[in-house]
Amino acid sequence: MITIKHLDHISMGHADWKAQSAFLGKILGFKHLGSWDPGESDFDGCTMQVPGTDIEFEIISPVGERSFVQKFLDEQGPGLHHITIEVASIEEAAAELQRLGLTPFGGITDDGAWRITYIHPKESGGILWQLFEPYKFPGAHDRTTTPGEVGVKRVDHVSMATKDLDKQIAWQERVFGMELLHRWTDEHLGYNGAVMRIPNSQLEFEMMEPTRPDSFVQKFIDTRRAGMHHICIDVESADKAAEGLRANGITPFGGVIESDWKRHTFLHPKDSGGVLFQLAEA
């Protein structure tokens, strides 16, 4: 089992990280922490503090037509790209992956600040996991945030679409030691769901498996592939969140939805720059 020291960030690919950073800062209150010069690499980007939760959000953009980010954008369009976790020892993590029958994708690389390896989506069920060991603490930042235009309180969970829920639960338990918290079936929307606790993180991990061909989960898998589907954000009020979107010329996708879980609405990927954000009343 890989011991998660800290879930560091969720990353998205976008053609213009500056424009996307400004949008997320205004609408969702994500706070810009810093950016980097690409140097000899083929991408640049920035990191942002997520309100209410101990993770960051990264935006990466291509530098040059041969950039891996450009390839991602060409194949899938802008959207969620990977999840990054800190480990105590990258050598031990890579060795443990091999003991688990997984390949440390790309071996162990060094970017001058981190030593890194990956779990490929083909082995994880659809998500690119980045594992890293930092050389040193990156330094202090002012991480105070604002609720943005929609009244963000915290980021609750990241959700993935999977073809096999039982297999994905077992994988997360075996590889990362995640703890199953709850399972359910939504007959109306046509999916089975589960949520797990991520060790040493305030973020939770949700999985959705389609139960019929017309399920939105099946349509997502058919259109893109199994992988990260959306990010759920707790807001002060679903109605106020919808009002905040409308005030910025954005139509709340689906309107305000009443459910047995929470009242919620959505910020559609076409309006958000590529990510589906669920805005749920805390």
Number of helices followed by number of strands (H, E) in the chain: 8, 16
**CATH 3.10.180.10 given to domain 6-134:** yes
pLDDT above 70 covers what percent of the chain? Answer: 99
Architecture of the domain delimited by 152-281:
Roll (3.10)
pLDDT at residue number 64: 84
Model pLDDT for residues 97-150, shown as the tens digit of each residue: 999 999 999 999 998 889 999 999 999 999 999 999 998 766 678 889 999 999
Model pLDDT for residues 59-106, shown as the tens digit of each residue: 999 998 889 999 999 999 999 999 999 999 999 999 999 999 999 999
User: Is a pLDDT exceeding 90 seen at residue 192?
Assistant: yes
| Residue 115 host element (H or E) | strand 114-119
Contacts of 33 (CB under 8 A, 6+ apart): 46, 47, 48, 49, 56, 141, 143
**Are the CB atoms for 236 and 41 separated by under 8 Å?**
no
Model pLDDT for residues 223-249, shown as the tens digit of each residue: 989 999 999 999 999 999 999 999 999
pLDDT at residue number 202: 95
Contacts of 110 (CB under 8 A, 6+ apart): 116
The two structure tokens encoding residue 266: 């959505």
Q: Do domains 6-134 and 152-281 have the same CATH topology?
A: yes
DSSP label at residue 42 = S
Q: What is the mean pLDDT of the chain?
A: 95
Comparing C-alpha atoms, which of 190, 281, 280, 182 is closest to residue 231?
A: 280
Domain boundaries, the chain: 6-134, 152-281
Contacts of 27 (CB under 8 A, 6+ apart): 148, 149, 150, 244, 245, 248, 250, 267, 272
Phi, psi of 277, deg, nearest 5: -105, 125
Give ∠ CA 118-123-129 in degrees, rounded to 5: 30
pLDDT at residue number 111: 86
pLDDT at residue number 260: 83
153: β partners: none
pTM: 0.95
